[in-house]
Amino acid sequence: MKKNELKKILKPVIKECIKECIFEDGVLSGIISEVFKGLESKRIVSEGLTIKTKPEEEKAKDEKNKLEEEYEKQRQERIKKLNESVSANGVNVFEGVAPVLSEATTANPLATSAPTDSGVDIDGILGLANGKWKQLI
């Protein structure tokens, strides 16, 4: 038997065996997970863009958190100074200001009505049927 004839016979058999091994025995998922683990720890460069690795991402997160904490601290100081300046002068900033009514929502259909609004007078409803409500029901 020549080498080419043996190759023609064995190649499809070997190909089928490898497919069965990879797909049926779960070897493919193991290969993919190993490749993913390997890529996870390395820096990937694609078209001039770099993807940060986990330590760099954590470092960036820590810096962002520090900036946010510093901003919040400065904000609280500004609020405190504003409150002190307003109360020290004895000025009521909101004196004579009426509350702004928001748009009606499904959660609160009376949001556009003022709290002091008396609404519609319904005292005359009972007199409309001249005491015949039992007959109408």
Q: What is the pLDDT of residue 79?
A: 87
Residue pair 114/101 in contact (Cβ under 8 Å)? The answer is yes
**pTM exceeds 0.85:** no
pLDDT tens digits, residue range 12-46? 888 888 888 777 767 777 788 788 777 766 555 55
What DSSP letter does each residue of 25-87 carry, written as one string?
SSHHHHHHHHHHHHHHTS-EEETTEEEPPHHHHHHHHHHHHHHHHHHHHHHHHHHHHHHHHHH
pLDDT tens digits, residue range 64-118? 999 999 999 999 999 888 877 766 666 777 778 877 766 666 677 777 787 788 8
What DSSP letter does each residue of 76-124 carry, written as one string?
HHHHHHHHHHHHHHT--TTTTPPPPP----SS-TTTTS-TT------TT
98: closest CA among 117, 118, 114, 86? 114
Q: What is the pLDDT of residue 87?
A: 66
Q: Is 43 exposed, middle or buried (0-12, 13-18, 19+ CB in 10 A)?
A: exposed
102: closest CA among 94, 93, 113, 91? 113
Q: What is the pLDDT of residue 69?
A: 94
Q: What is the pLDDT of residue 7?
A: 84
43: closest CA among 33, 35, 51? 51
